[in-house]
Amino acid sequence: MDAIILQILNGLDKGSAYALIALGLTLIFGTLGVVNFAHGALFMVGAFCAVTLSRLLSLSHQVVDETRTDFLGKPLKVDVPYVMDIFGETTGAAIIDWAVPLAILFSIPVMIALGVIMERGLIKHFYKRPHADQILVTFGLAIVLQEIIKQVYGANPIPTPAPDVFKGSLDFGVLMGFDPNAIIYPYWRLVYFGFAAIIIGAVFAFLQFTTFGMVVRAGMADRETVGLLGINIDKRFTIMFGLAAAVAGLAGVMYAPINSPNYHMGMDFLVLSFVVVVVGGMGSLPGAVLAGFLLGILESFASMNEIKAILPGIDQIIIYLVAIIILLTRPRGLLGRKGVMED
């Protein structure tokens, strides 16, 4: 029992990331009808927003500390971050420590701007082109984005720690009446799951309760009719693209402490997120979220030793296997609407 709960918890953080990326992919596909192969790159750019902010905050200048000496006996030179000069030592240190959560604020404008530029500058011209062309051009864009990041930040993963408060783990087992240490769960993963839940909730609320969201939903259902009503749907779709980019970016920012960002993380997640979208149902937002968590948890179950003993290698392929079975038996996906892209 405790092992099962542990696996479910383990699946949640990856599942959250899948769900957030798949949500954005679905928004873009549902509104603009575009298959965006560059969406994983947006996730990656988000993660590097966290890296960037943490580097910016750590920018320092050298100060000679007369009270201490280095190993040669000379006065020690210490690096003092500018943030500490401005905010004082304790506040400064706290700000640096909290770089990743702060990067949320930093990344939102960056990601929205990136999304809007992408849509206006490139994607817009591909609405009427075949899906294959859309796949190809966004694939090219993904290569470009990841190469730029690689040139700026290098090819190695960059560890980006979470704030100190979240470094420990929560002993879930004790809470639920199991033995201590049976279910250990790092705090940050808990934070990530909560964060993902909030973002998902916010997106759904936004679509459900605002006029803007209503128009977008109507546009997803029937673009032409909404266009006939004299509503400028294009402008809203541009904003929608920016929003989807921001969601992917935020997913990336908060993922940085879980997995040190590297330039190809976007591609790794993209392939899986596409599978998630397909399983959930192309164009279905709840489907994307459901499938994201479902596949995340399934993947974590498949990596249990007991299961790997019976089916070696299953953890490596479980997601693809599920996708293949779903596509062949229920092409519209778990929650997809009938007739949407079924062939």
CB closer to another protein, 54 vs 134: 134
Smallest distance from another protein to CB 219, Å: 20
**For 251, what's the count of Cα atoms within 13 Å in the CB-facing half-sphere?**
35
Smallest distance from another protein to CB 140, Å: 4
**Residue 341 found at the interface with another protein (CB under 8 A):** yes
217, burial (CB in 10 Å: exposed 0-12, middle 13-18, buried 19+): middle
**Residue 330 found at the interface with another protein (CB under 8 A):** no
Q: Tokens at residue 294, please?
A: 């479902």
**Residue 132 found at the interface with another protein (CB under 8 A):** yes
Q: Interacting stretch for another protein, rule CB under 8 A, among 52-60, 156-164, 191-199, 325-333?
A: 325-333
Q: Interacting stretch for another protein, rule CB under 8 A, among 10-18, 112-120, 131-139, 221-229?
A: 131-139
CB closer to another protein, 234 vs 268: 268
- What lies within 8 Å, CB to CB, of 272 at 6+ separation is 18, 295, 319
**Residue 229 found at the interface with another protein (CB under 8 A):** no
CB closer to another protein, 186 vs 283: 283
φ, ψ of residue 193 to 5 degrees: the values are -65, -45
**Residue 143 found at the interface with another protein (CB under 8 A):** yes
> For another protein, what does the binding mask look like between residues 20 and 59, x meaning CB under 8 A?
---------------x------------------------
**Residue 271 found at the interface with another protein (CB under 8 A):** yes
Q: Tokens at residue 300, please?
A: 């974590």
Three-state secondary-structure class, residue 326:
helix
CB 165, CB 147: distance < 8 Å: no
Describe the chain by its helix, strand, coil percentages, rounded to 5.
70, 5, 25
**Residue 68 found at the interface with another protein (CB under 8 A):** no
Torsion of CA 174, 180, 183, 187, to 10 degrees: 70
Q: Tokens at residue 21, please?
A: 């990326």
What pairs with residue 51 in β-bridges? none
Q: How many CB atoms lie within 10 A of CB 26?
A: 26
CB closer to another protein, 255 vs 274: 274
**Residue 125 found at the interface with another protein (CB under 8 A):** yes
Contact residues toward another protein (CB under 8 A) are 35, 122, 125, 129, 131-133, 135-137, 139-144, 147-148, 150-151, 267, 271, 274-275, 278, 312-313, 316-317, 320-321, 323-324, 327-328, 331, 341, 343
